[in-house]
């Protein structure tokens, strides 16, 4: 798999202010061949939304945060449900959600190494872990598989688990690359009626992807009509989905390495001044239409507007 660079905005006020990676090549204005590759001198778009409430319509996003605070969704946590009409056989989501907490809730087996009988994580656990990961980015430290696994096994789960299911007994099926995609601004959706577990213990023993897919595949057309279409997992939004946000694919070229060391990228990783008229930089300036300018870790951007623009990671989660 080709190497990839992820630009992760560290503040929520960057959209539309012209943060351009102007010294990266190929340059869109200078390309003279289709063989030059995708241009790299891109603009940095908005950050991953702060964790917050989402308004949805079935599977579609309508308004609110595209990084759903699952604790804001009444009754979201892992409800017993029926795929066939013959009685409860799974636990599944009852509303559509988006973002990092939703991804963790969907894909991480919270007690993986403990073996069978582990329920899916709670919404409070998923929300806390999501914010912890966002805090790590704002601190500029590693988001490698080992670093994420360490976050997962600390409080609030406090159990041996992992992100990718490599550990014995774990049914997790996440990846570092997916988490970096979400942090860089791509939108992950977990549809309503996404299967999380069976109903063998408590609210359902966490199920891996293959076991979930087997249940989805077993639904007949009549059962889909009567019980609803169930899903085995979430996925990233496509271009024709409401809420979709395009993100460029950046690669570690020589131009990037130079820029990251001492050029435009290096400058934006440090403190810059942004005073975006669509955001408030003092408490008194906050209104319905002007939210407070915040860092990814929820720190208030000072009235001066001075704060780093973004962090940079490679596809393995190493901070560059």
pLDDT, residue 1, reads 47
Instruction: Assess whether pLDDT exceeds 80 at residue 274.
Output: yes
Q: What percent of the chain has pLDDT over 70?
A: 88
Instruction: Assess whether pLDDT exceeds 50 at residue 77.
Output: yes
Q: Read off the pLDDT of each residue in 158-165 and give the average, rounded to a whole number.
A: 86
pLDDT, residue 200, reads 65
Winning range, highest mean pLDDT, from 35-49, 71-85, 189-203, 220-234: 220-234
Instruction: Assess whether pLDDT exceeds 50 at residue 53.
Output: yes
Instruction: Assess whether pLDDT exceeds 50 at residue 250.
Output: yes
Judge whether 69 and 53 are in contact, CB under 8 Å: yes
Cα distance between residue 148 and residue 135, in whole Å: 12
Q: Under 8 Å CB-to-CB from 137, ≥6 apart: which residues?
A: 8, 10, 143, 183, 296, 297, 311, 313
Higher per-residue confidence, 9 vs 154: 9
Q: Under 8 Å CB-to-CB from 82, ≥6 apart: which residues?
A: 88, 89, 90, 227
Instruction: Assess whether pLDDT exceeds 80 at residue 211.
Output: yes
Domain edges within the chain: 1-45+249-320, 54-236
Judge whether 51 and 101 are in contact, CB under 8 Å: yes
Q: For the chain, what is the HEC assignment? A: CCCCEEEEECECCCCCCCCECCCCCCCCCCCCCHHHCCCCCCECCCCCCCCECEEEECCEEEEECCCECHHHCCCCCCEEECCCCCCCCEEECCCCEECHHHHHHHHCCCCHHHCCCCCCCCHHHHHHHHHHHHHHHHHCCCCCHHHHHHHHHCCCCCCCCCCCCCCCCCCCCCCHHHHHHHHCCCCEEECCCEEEECCCCCCCCECCHHHHHHHHHHCCHHHHHHHCCCECCCEECCCCCCCCCCCCCECCCHHHHHHHHHCHHHHHHCEEECCCCCCECCHHHCCCCCCECEECCCCECCCCCEEECEEEEECCCCEC
Please tell me the least confidently modeled range out of 53-57, 188-192, 253-257: 253-257
At 216, is the pLDDT very low, low, confident or very high (cuts 50, 70, 90)? very high
Instruction: Assess whether pLDDT exceeds 70 at residue 149.
Output: yes
At 269, is the pLDDT very low, low, confident or very high (cuts 50, 70, 90)? very high
Higher per-residue confidence, 135 vs 117: 135
Cα distance between residue 31 and residue 40, in whole Å: 11
Judge whether 108 and 29 are in contact, CB under 8 Å: no
Tokens 């395009």 identify what position? 246
Please tell me the least confidently modeled range out of 54-68, 72-86, 158-172, 304-318: 72-86
Q: What is the mean pLDDT of the chain?
A: 88
Instruction: Assess whether pLDDT exceeds 80 at residue 75.
Output: no
pLDDT digits (tens, 9 = 90+) for 191-210: 999 999 888 655 568 899 99
With CA atoms as reference, report the closest residue to 107 among 52, 178, 155: 178
Query: CB neighbours (10 Å) of residue 220?
Result: 11
Q: Which pTM does this prediction carry?
A: 0.92
* Angle between helices 123-139 and 100-107 in degrees, nearest 10: 120
Higher per-residue confidence, 212 vs 30: 212
């Amino acid at each position: 798999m080709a190497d990839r660079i992820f630009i992760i905005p560290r503040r929520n006020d960057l959209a539309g202010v012209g943060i351009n990676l102007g010294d990266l090549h190929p340059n869109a204005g200078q390309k003279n061949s289709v063989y030059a590759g995708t241009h790299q001198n891109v603009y940095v778009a908005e950050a991953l939304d702060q964790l917050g409430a989402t308004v949805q319509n079935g599977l579609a996003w309508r308004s609110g945060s595209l990084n759903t605070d699952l604790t804001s969704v009444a009754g979201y946590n892992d409800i017993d449900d029926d795929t066939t009409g013959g009685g409860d056989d799974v636990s599944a989501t009852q509303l559509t959600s988006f973002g990092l907490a939703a991804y963790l809730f969907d894909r991480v087996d919270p007690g993986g190494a403990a073996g069978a009988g582990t329920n899916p994580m709670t919404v409070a656990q998923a929300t806390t872990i999501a914010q912890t990961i966002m805090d790590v980015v704002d601190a500029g430290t590693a988001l490698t598989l080992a670093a994420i696994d360490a976050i997962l096994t600390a409080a609030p789960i406090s159990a041996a688990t992992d992100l990718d299911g490599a550990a014995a007994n774990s049914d997790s099926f996440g990846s570092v690359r997916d988490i970096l995609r979400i942090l860089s601004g791509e939108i992950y959706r977990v549809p309503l009626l996404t299967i999380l577990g069976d109903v063998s213990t408590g609210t359902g023993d966490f199920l891996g992807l293959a076991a979930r897919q087997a249940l989805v595949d077993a639904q007949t057309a009549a059962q889909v009509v009567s019980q609803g279409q169930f899903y085995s997992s979430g996925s990233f939004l496509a271009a024709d989905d409401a809420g979709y946000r395009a993100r460029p694919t950046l690669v570690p070229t020589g131009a990037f390495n130079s820029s990251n060391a001492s050029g435009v990228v290096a400058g934006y990783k440090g403190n810059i001044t942004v005073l975006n008229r669509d955001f408030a930089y003092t408490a008194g300036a906050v209104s319905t239409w002007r939210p407070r300018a915040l860092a990814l870790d929820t720190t208030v951007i000072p009235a001066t507007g001075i704060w780093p623009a973004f962090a940079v990671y490679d596809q393995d989660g190493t901070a560059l």
